[in-house]
Structure 1
Amino acid sequence: METLKKNYEFSRVYRKGKYFSGQYLTINVLENIYGYSRIGISVSKKAYKSSVKRNLYRRRIKEIVRTGCFNLKQGYDLIFVVKKTEQIPPYREIEKEIIDLLEKAKLILKNEENNNQVD
């Protein structure tokens, strides 16, 4: 999975995309012209002052998406925006929220859809 790196890529998704909010995260979604999905992760200094905490959150999100037990639809730009909380939630809670938000955005393929896409 590719990553969003440039400021204009993030701006385009924020301006034209849809967003889905949860307790810990907001996911911004926009269809792209590529045949693959790209992700971006935004953890502000306002949310977590310590760079160690920001990077821990970022690494957890990347790992959940990389090893996810879900099949993502291809061709979308996703931005995960972290909300401010007292402490970083446990890995499983972040994972559950990401899956819930991706289902809300209808970006997780069901097994039948995945099999049809391969044929």
Structure 2
Amino acid sequence: MIPKQYRLSENEVKKVLRFRKPFFAYGFIANILPNKVGHNRFGVIFSGKHTKTSIARNFYRRRLYDTVADICTTGSNDIVFVPKKGKTFHHQNIEDIAGFDKDVGFLKKLVKK
């Protein structure tokens, strides 16, 4: 997990989704909005359509936060990760986990630039 200062609140997530600049990967969209805080802040949206259980939602949310922890201080953006329509994730499916890591790694490279 990343510290709370690097996470977005619900209202901040809504603001990013309203005024965003999207970047696309195979299964994810990274919505980016510049901020004036001086460091990156992250959010992720997993609905019940994408992950059927709270265990899976928490698993992927924590995995995403662990993946992006090293780029928290490199920029000044608010970033919200949203799965594409029809994409489902299960925390015990190895293919889902590998695809998730691949997509987040790709979007992480885009965010670093």
- TM above 0.5, yes or no, is yes
Q: TM-score, normalised by structure 2?
A: 0.75
**For residue 80 of structure 1, what is the aligned residue in structure 2?**
81
Q: Percent identity?
A: 31
Query: Which is higher, the Rg of structure 1 or of structure 2?
Result: 1
Contact map agreement 2:23 2:31 (CA 8 A) in 1: yes
Q: Which deviates more from structure 2 when the two are superposed, residues 93-102 or residues 76-85?
A: 93-102
Q: CA deviation at 1:74?
A: 1.2
2:112 is matched with which residue? 108
Q: Tell me which residue corresponds to 1:22.
A: 25
For the residue of structure 2 that corresponds to 1:43, the secondary structure is: coil
Secondary structure of the 2:58 match is: helix
Distance 2:76 2:68 in 1: 15
Q: How many angstroms does 1:86 deviate by?
A: 5.8
Which structure 1 segments of 5+ residues have no match? 110-119
Number of residue equivalences: 103
**4+ aligned runs moved over 6 Å, structure 1:** none
Higher share of residues assigned strand: 1
Give 1:5's aligned residue.
9
Cα distance in 2, alignment partners of residues 100 and 20 from structure 1: 10
